[in-house]
Chains A and B, each alone.
Chain A
Amino acid sequence: MHERILAIWSRVETALIGVLVLCALGTFLGGAVLRHVSPRQSIDWADEVALYFIVWATALAGSVLAAEGRHINTEILLGGLSSRARRALGLAVGALTLGFCATMAVYGWQAYEFSAMLDDRSGSSLRTPQSWALFLALPVGMALMVAKMLVLALAGRGITASGKGH
Chain B
Amino acid sequence: MDAILGLIGMMVLMALGAPIFVALGVAAMVMLALEGRPLMDAAMTSISGINSTTFLAVPFFVMAATFMQRGGIARIIIDAAEAWVGHFRGGLGLVCVLATTLFAAISGSSVVTAMAMGTFLIPAMVARGYGRPFALGTVGASGTLGILIPPSLSMILYGLIAEQSVPRLFLAGVVPGLIQAAILAVVVMILSRKNNYASGERVSGAEFARRNLRALPALFIPVSVFVGIYTGYATVTESAGVAAVSSVLIAVLVYREVGWKDVFGMTAEAMKAASAVTFIVMFALLFAHWITGSGVPTDLVEWATGVGLSPWQFLLALNLIMLVMGMFLDAVAVLLIVTPIVLPLLPALGIDPIHFGIILIVNMEIAFLTPPIGLNLFVLSSIAKAPLSEAIRGVLPFIAAMVVFLILITYVPEVSLWLPNMVFGG
Q: Interface on A for B, CB 8 Å cutoff?
A: 14-15, 17-18, 20-22, 24-25, 28-29, 32, 36, 47, 50-51, 54-55, 57-58, 61-62, 64-65, 68, 70-79, 89-90, 92-93, 96-97, 100, 103-104, 107-108, 110-111, 114-115, 134-135, 137-138, 159-160, 162-163
Residue in contact with B47 in the complex, picked from A75, A97, A137, CB distance below 8 Å: A137
Interface contact B241-A108, CB-CB below 8 Å: no
Contact indicator A97/B19 (Cβ below 8 Å): yes
B267 adjacent to chain A (CB < 8 Å): yes
Sorted from nearest, which 8 A-B pairs have the closest CB atoms? A61-B275, A18-B268, A107-B43, A71-B19, A110-B40, A111-B43, A76-B15, A138-B47
List, in ascending order, chain A residues with CB within 8 A of B234's CB: 32
B242 to A107, Cβ gap below 8 A? no
Q: Looking at the complex, which one of A24, A68, A100 makes contact with B56 (CB distance below 8 Å)?
A: A24
With A75-B373, A97-B22, A107-B42 known as contacts, the answer to whether A51 contacts B51 (CB < 8 A) is yes
Q: Chain A's nearest CB lies how many Å from the CB of B51?
A: 6
Contact yes or no, A72 B280, CB < 8 A: yes
Of A20, A58, A61, A138, which is in contact with the most chain B CB atoms at under 10 Å from its CB?
A: A58
Instruction: With A65-B276, A97-B22 given, name 12 new contacts (CB 8 A).
Output: A21-B59, A21-B270, A28-B237, A50-B56, A55-B50, A57-B59, A72-B330, A74-B20, A76-B372, A96-B13, A103-B29, A115-B44
Inter-chain contacts of B244 with A (CB < 8 A): 25
Report the bound CA distance from A29 to B50 in whole Å.
19
Tell me whether A58 and B237 are in contact in the complex, defined as CB-CB below 8 angstroms, given that A72-B20, A159-B19 are known contacts. Answer: no
For window 323-368 of B, CB contacts with A under 8 Å fall at 328-330, 332-333
Check if A58 sits within 8 Å of B275, measured CB to CB: yes
Contact A163 B17 (CB under 8 A): yes
Map CB proximity to A onto B41-57 as digits: 1 under 8 Å, 0 otherwise.
11110111011110110
- Contact yes or no, B18 A114, CB < 8 A: no
Residues of the B chain whose Cβ atoms lie less than 8 Å from the Cβ of A36: 233
* Chain A residues with CB under 8 A of B55: 51, 54
In the complex the two chains form, is A73's CB within 8 Å of B270's CB? no
**How many angstroms from the CA of A96 to the CA of B234 in the assembled complex?**
44
B365-408 to A contact mask, C-beta < 8 Å, 1/0:
00000001100000000000000000000000000000000000
Can you name 6 A-B residue pairings with CB atoms under 8 Å?
Answer: A28-B56, A28-B238, A74-B333, A103-B29, A104-B43, A110-B43
CB A67 to nearest CB in B, in angstroms, measures 11
A138–B204 alpha-carbon span in the complex (Å): 58
Given contacts A22-B264, A65-B279, A76-B328, contact A111 B271 (CB under 8 A): no
Q: A32-B234, A76-B373, A103-B29 are in contact. Are A96 and B278 (CB under 8 A)?
A: no
Closest Cβ–Cβ distance, residue A18 to chain B (whole Å): 4
B21 CB-CB contact with A under 8 Å: yes
Q: How far, in angstroms, from A97 to B242 measured CA to CA in the complex?
A: 37
B63 interfacial contact with A, CB 8 Å: yes
| Contact between chains at B40 and A114 (CB < 8 Å) | yes
A57 adjacent to B276 (CB under 8 Å):
no
A47–B330 Cα distance when bound, in Å, is 31
B275 and A57 contacting across the interface, CB-CB below 8 Å = yes
Q: Are A29 and B278 neighbours in the complex by a CB distance under 8 Å?
A: no
Most buried by A among B17, B18, B25, B39: B17
Residue B26, interface by CB 8 Å: yes
Q: Which residues of A contact B56 (CB under 8 A)?
A: 24, 28, 47, 50-51, 54
Return the contact of A18 from the options B13, B265, B332 (Cβ within 8 A). B265
| Chain B positions 1-19 with a Cβ under 8 Å from a chain A Cβ | 13-19
Q: Mark B180-205, 1 if CB is under 8 A from A, else 0.
A: 00000000000000000000000000
Distance, CA A21 to CA B265, complexed state (A) = 11
Contact with A along B26-38 (1 / 0, CB 8 A): 1001000000000
Within 8 Å by CB of A51, from B15, B40, B53, B275, lies B53
Docked pose: A36 CA to B328 CA in angstroms: 46
Closest CB of chain A to B323's CB: distance in Å?
16
**B245 interface residue per 8 A CB criterion:** yes
Q: Does B16 contact A93, Cβ atoms closer than 8 Å?
A: yes
Q: Which residues of A contact B237 (CB under 8 A)?
A: 28, 47
B17–A89 touching, CB < 8 Å: yes
Q: What CA separation (Å) do A163 and B264 show in the bound complex?
A: 29
- The CA of A110 and the CA of B59, in the complex, are separated in Å by 28
B60 at interface, CB cutoff 8 A: yes
